Structure 1
Amino acid sequence: MSGHTVATHLVASLAEHGVRKVFGVPSESFTTLMEALRAEPALTFVTARHEGGAAFMAEAHAAASDGVGVVLGGRAVGAANLSIGVHTARENSTPLLVLVGQMNSRHRGREGFQETDVAAFLGPVAKHAVEESDPRRVPDAVDRALQLALRGRRGPVVLSLPEDVFDHPADAAPARPATVTRPEPSAADAAALRALLSRAERPVVIAGAGVKQAGAEANLVAFSEAWQIPVVAAWRRHDVFPNDHPRYAGHLQMGTHPELVATVREADLVLALGARLNEITTQGYTAPDRRQRVVQVDVEPGQLGKTYPLVLGVHADALHTLRALGAPSAPRDPAWADQRRAAYLRVTTVEPAEHPDRVDNRQIVRALRAGLPDDAIVTNDAGNFAGWLHTFFRFPLARTYVGAASGAMGYALPAAIGAKLAEPDRTVVSVSGDGGFLMTVQELETAVRLRLSLVALVFNNNMYGSIRMHQERAYPGRVIGSDLGNPDLVGLARAFGAFGARVTADADFPAVLRTALDQPGPAVIEIVTDPEQISVWSTLTQLREGTT
């Protein structure tokens, strides 16, 4: 390894781990590392317009490619900007290597330029964070960081490296991928879970990220068919189970329809399979309630029983668990599963209609699904507009959804860029509200520069809709801070060099979507929506009158 430096070792280690894209904003703190990236043909540096956008891109690229995402930021400012992506990767359980170029070691402790303790700053939102200032130990730190990002519950690992370590000699071989073993259920746990399932009359599976990361989607389908169990998707895990399958019973989101929540509340056994049972999935920790029997299966032992008392906690990988359970010993009655599927169809089916004078968001979502190939990747932002997507859009295939369980605004557009770079031959669509879109709209330049053919839908009601909804519920008619003034979004898209179009009637949307999908570069479709229709199930007037 003669002639190699810490920087070239780091770059070679990334290449060995299958990394092909590194995202970030250039910084003087890692110019030596940038030079090593330039010289490595296997890697491409993707320049973003903000570290927060770069971190979202890296996280989504990892989610779409099932690899490790890598993002670079410089010192305190860059680290602060990308922290939102670190938090999102933690919430999404996405493997992300966060490399921060720290100030020169000899200036530490004297309030040097942009000095901060990066590990202490990002540690609370990361899976692990460390600073390594000894160049001899950096190769081991890189190896450990990559392994930690992938082992157990995946997540973001922060490695802060002072700028003066990068050009030091490094004699170690590049870090190579290690075999990541996934825990298997013990024979006793498998037998106990089989017994619980066999006795249950109304079981339900809440399927989470652990199913997706184990590659167990097909196994879950076979399990649900054999055991006649309805499956609901945890918060923003839409594609964990094919939505058109007879055993799919809905998605647990903000504002889940009561008919879908009833599938959990009426169950006599809840199997949380790779799902964290967080606040949103459980509807504020009310579904299931604490009297219901809950079984949790997770690769992270610290998750077991974290939010609910359990009748059984299984420290195991979802794929191994499903294989160990096999088929039931006797045929099972499908009536319960059929009933819950019927409830799902009843509240999420949209009959075709066209309105030449207004936008009905349900029709936009229906037409969007009809206008996209089954394997299209959809990313979405946070906001009330997402309720229509979460409720009415159907994901027939695995690995077709990339979303932020953190609820971060501004995620969708940079996430679409990351996903498109991971899957260049697939259709990619981002879905945002006007509030979230304008938080990271500068990344539209990134998409134009990279000539990425993707479509960004923007539901525009000139407000922070979810905040307005909460205001109107608590203080009807008394509004502060949630009204927005927006630029001409079509003109803005064109100023960036993207295609832009505006839809003011849902009847026009299918044709506009077809045109946008045919563009050689990015396209923005502004969808002008009625502020009165504040959410899927209520209007502003109803909130003010207290009738919802």
Structure 2
Amino acid sequence: MYTTGTAFLEGLYEAGVSYIFANLGSDHPAIIESLARAKKENKELPAVITCPHEFVALSAAHGYAQLTGEPQAVLVHVECGTQNLGGAIHNAYKSRVPVLIFAGASPYTQEGELTGSRNEFIHWIQDVRDQRGIVRGYTKYDNEIRTGFNVKQLIYRSLQIAKSDPAGPVYLMGPREVMEEETTPVTLENELWQPILPGAIAPEQLDELTRDLLAANAPLIVTSYLGRNTDAVGELVKLSEKLSIPIIESIPHHMNFPHNNPMHCGSQWNVSTQNKLLADADFVLVIDSDVPWIQTKNKPSDKAKIYYLDVDPLKEEMPLWYIPSKQFLKADSYIALQQINKHLNEYEIDQDAVSKRWWKYSEVHNSLMAEKRNVEETRTDIITPEYIVACVRDVIDKENTIVLNEAITNYPAVSNHIEVDRPGSYFGSGAGSLGWNGGAAIGMKLANPDKTIVSLTGDGSYMFSVPSTVHWMANRYNTPFLTVIFNNSGWKAPKMSTLGVHPRGVANETEEFWVSFDPTSDLAGIAESAGNAYPINVEERAELRSALEEGVNKVNEGRAVVINVTIPHVYKDGDTRARGKNTIIQTDTM
């Protein structure tokens, strides 16, 4: 019997979906039966990855799409599974990652009128008024499958929308009776359902931008995720080197510009001081960045000419967002940079000014590099985040490694010290719900099995990742990766947020922030118990490098590794919870 469920699975496969990250339930008998029949008949369908938690399922699809650009499918159980997607769908939506999510729905008949009618008590409990509304604020498109006769058209339309810029998640749902319905096979032509082609800069805007750029004495480019298209990196390098334009990365969640290039002038996060290059710039081109700077702390001069280029330059889904700019350019960064580089050939360039800038910003780059080396080697009695990253950088094979960064308060340490130079070699989640790192590592390993995946995470974000599920999946599906935990025994971010608003408040006075993870858990042991990961605990600085080398070797042999590294815990002077040399005694009031 050819059912809607069968047509649904066929549609995913024909549309190019390789994996279904599935958390199946009572709403999926048609899909399970169709999968079983396909296996028996050796029929090709997307591979099913069983995911014991929906957050990990979507995080894995997120990671796969980040690396490949190709959306995968996530199957969840009615409204309960939809809600369990939680922060993961926030991440996919805010970071513009395409994915197709399908959830079943409670049957709409209860007396056996149709195949799939209600026969379990939960079919009443899980029937809600607006299941699609649960995720409507985090999807580009949602719809309900009402018949098998057009289910493939809905899949193709959903994926077309998901992949069109700005990309993002789409959500379909289908009741049991509909998925069990007998239907007729349909064949669609892929080329008729392609995503919308990326946009370019209008000729008049291109000419004005180019003229202002050439007239600038201190131009600057700021980006966060230009590297999502790896080809755009080369065009940015070409523009930067042609005019000696320094590059600043703001909260980078892709590899956007080679760190060894003399025009790379660092990355910034929630810095409390003004970036001098940003303050001195008379022309700022922001390319692909949601938060290029934080206006209360660190921003360009009011006299600077600002151009904003992005596939979503108005940020229509962000209720409060504005960066006054001379122009807002809705265009694909790769195409736009190609346009700019080509258009510059029509103008005479002041090579003397370009040479002076090259010397000036090369000195800034060299000074930053020297400062980083100094920071990495300071406080030789303890393990600092910068030292961890430096050791990881030295141990990994950069040409064959992908680094994930979810170190949160140590995010800047990773982004500044990992020093990646190859497009597609570095990723962050791009959003704000913690725990992306574990599932994303699995998704990226599935997408590129030949690469070594290294996840750098805080202890808080590690626990948010549902490590028991992550490492069970890594073991079952042979996707080993290395996790390095920056363990400061608590959520440092809420503490820093509180001190940022109340630097001399009672919370600081009493050291009560309710963020401590004491007594500590055996974080590496969780992964070992759940998925046979190789656990390593590091408390001594002298042990770190050899532990990382051992970890990389184990991963390359096919076993996941979790290295739990104790880093300084921040407590007040006299606090009885202060422990040993890996504790910083804080005596001031921030």
Q: Pick which of 166-175 and 97-106 moved more.
A: 166-175
Query: Secondary structure at 2:149's aligned position in 1?
Result: coil
Mapping 1:228-247, distance limit 5 Å: 228-247=244-263
Mapping 1:84-95, distance limit 5 Å: 84-95=87-98
| 2:578 corresponds to | none
| 1:510 matches 2:545 | yes
Spell out, residue by residue over 1:299-347, the C-alpha distance to the aligned partner (whole angstroms, 9 max, x if none): 2354499521221122221122111112463122424533542453354
Q: Could you tell me how far apart the structure 2 residues matched to 1:157 and 1:235 are? A: 26
Q: Could you tell me how far apart the structure 1 residues matched to 2:539 and 2:246 are? A: 38
Query: Secondary structure at 2:91's aligned position in 1?
Result: helix
Q: Pick which of 409-418 and 158-167 moved more.
A: 158-167
Aligned partner of 2:207: which letter?
A: A
Spell out, residue by residue over 1:221-259, the C-alpha distance to the aligned partner (whole angstroms, 9 max, x if none): 111111211112232334011111111112232337x47
Q: Could you tell me how far apart the structure 1 residues matched to 2:253 and 2:11 are? A: 31
CA contact (8 A) 1:272 1:296 kept: yes
Mapping 1:412-431, distance limit 5 Å: 412-431=437-456
| 1:99 corresponds to | 102
Give the C-alpha shift of residue 95 in structure 1. 0.8
Aligned partner of 1:277: which letter?
A: V
Mapping 1:174-213, distance limit 5 Å: 174=188, 176=190, 178-180=193-195, 181-213=197-229
> What's the RMSD between the two structures over aligned residues?
2.8
| 1:406 corresponds to | 431
| 1:136 matches 2:162 | no
| 1:115 matches 2:127 | yes
Q: Could you tell me how far apart the structure 2 residues matched to 1:118 and 1:252 are? A: 40
* Residue 111 to residue 87, structure 1, CA distance change in 2 (3 Å): same
Aligned partner of 1:160: which letter?
A: M
| 1:545 corresponds to | 588
Of the three residues 303, 308, 318, the one matched with 1:296 is 308
Of the three residues 499, 503, 510, the one matched with 2:534 is 499
| 1:18 corresponds to | 16
Query: Secondary structure at 2:457's aligned position in 1?
Result: strand
Mapping 1:27-66, distance limit 5 Å: 27-37=25-35, 39=38, 40-66=43-69
Query: Secondary structure at 1:93's aligned position in 2?
Result: coil
Q: Could you tell me how far apart the structure 2 residues matched to 1:285 and 1:291 are? A: 17
| 1:338 corresponds to | 362
| 2:483 corresponds to | 456
Give the C-alpha shift of residue 141 in structure 1. 1.9
Of the three residues 311, 329, 339, the one matched with 2:326 is 311
Spell out, residue by residue over 1:490-511, the C-alpha distance to the aligned partner (whole angstroms, 9 max, x if none): 4333323110111112221121
Aligned partner of 1:401: which letter?
A: Y
TM-score by structure 2 length? 0.84
Aligned partner of 2:48: which letter?
A: F
Spell out, residue by residue over 1:447-486, the C-alpha distance to the aligned partner (whole angstroms, 9 max, x if none): 1222322111112222111122334553313314201133
Give the C-alpha shift of residue 210 in structure 1. 4.5
| 2:579 corresponds to | none
Query: Secondary structure at 1:215's aligned position in 2?
Result: helix
Give the C-alpha shift of residue 284 in structure 1. 5.4
| 1:481 matches 2:514 | yes
Give the C-alpha shift of residue 373 in structure 1. 1.2
Q: Could you tell me how far apart the structure 2 residues matched to 1:294 and 1:541 are? A: 43
Q: Could you tell me how far apart the structure 1 residues matched to 2:236 and 2:560 are? A: 36
Query: Secondary structure at 1:438's aligned position in 2?
Result: helix
CA contact (8 A) 1:290 1:309 kept: no
Q: Pick which of 264-273 and 87-96 moved more.
A: 264-273
Of the three residues 299, 308, 314, the one matched with 1:287 is 299
Of the three residues 145, 151, 167, the one matched with 2:164 is 151
CA contact (8 A) 1:350 1:366 kept: no
Q: Could you tell me how far apart the structure 1 residues matched to 2:83 and 2:569 are? A: 34
Of the three residues 372, 379, 398, the one matched with 2:396 is 372
Query: Secondary structure at 1:240's aligned position in 2?
Result: coil
Of the three residues 415, 418, 422, the one matched with 1:397 is 422
CA contact (8 A) 2:61 2:72 kept: yes
Mapping 1:433-444, distance limit 5 Å: 433-439=458-464, 440-442=466-468, 443-444=470-471
Spell out, residue by residue over 1:10-37, the C-alpha distance to the aligned partner (whole angstroms, 9 max, x if none): 2223223332122121222123223434
Give the C-alpha shift of residue 52 in structure 1. 0.7
| 1:383 corresponds to | 408
CA contact (8 A) 2:12 2:155 kept: no
Spell out, residue by residue over 1:31-74, the C-alpha distance to the aligned partner (whole angstroms, 9 max, x if none): 32234345253521111221011111110111112211321111
Give the C-alpha shift of residue 429 in structure 1. 0.9
Aligned partner of 2:325: which letter?
A: L
| 2:282 corresponds to | 268
CA contact (8 A) 1:380 1:411 kept: no
Spell out, residue by residue over 1:338-394, the C-alpha distance to the aligned partner (whole angstroms, 9 max, x if none): 354245335433466498853222211101001111131112325323332133221
Q: Could you tell me how far apart the structure 2 residues matched to 1:237 and 1:58 are? A: 17
* Residue 456 to residue 28, structure 1, CA distance change in 2 (3 Å): same
Rg larger in structure:
2
Q: Could you tell me how far apart the structure 2 residues matched to 1:289 and 1:86 are? A: 36
Query: Secondary structure at 2:432's aligned position in 1?
Result: coil
Q: Could you tell me how far apart the structure 1 residues matched to 2:311 and 2:153 are? A: 25
Aligned partner of 1:481: which letter?
A: W
* Residue 15 to residue 337, structure 1, CA distance change in 2 (3 Å): farther
CA contact (8 A) 1:472 1:540 kept: no
Q: Could you tell me how far apart the structure 2 residues matched to 1:521 and 1:338 are? A: 42
Aligned partner of 1:441: which letter?
A: P
Identity of aligned residues (%): 21
Q: Could you tell me how far apart the structure 2 residues matched to 1:221 and 1:317 are? A: 16
Give the C-alpha shift of residue 269 in structure 1. 1.3
Q: Could you tell me how far apart the structure 1 residues matched to 2:302 and 2:173 are? A: 42
Give the C-alpha shift of residue 211 in structure 1. 4.8
Give the C-alpha shift of residue 94 in structure 1. 0.8
CA contact (8 A) 2:65 2:99 kept: yes
CA contact (8 A) 2:92 2:168 kept: yes
Aligned partner of 1:15: which letter?
A: Y
| 1:521 matches 2:540 | no
Q: Could you tell me how far apart the structure 2 residues matched to 1:47 and 1:63 are? A: 20
Paired positions, count: 535
Q: Pick which of 389-398 and 304-313 moved more.
A: 304-313
Query: Secondary structure at 1:239's aligned position in 2?
Result: coil
Query: Secondary structure at 1:206's aligned position in 2?
Result: strand
CA contact (8 A) 2:405 2:437 kept: yes
TM-score by structure 1 length? 0.90
Query: Secondary structure at 1:233's aligned position in 2?
Result: strand
Aligned partner of 1:150: which letter?
A: K
| 1:465 matches 2:492 | yes
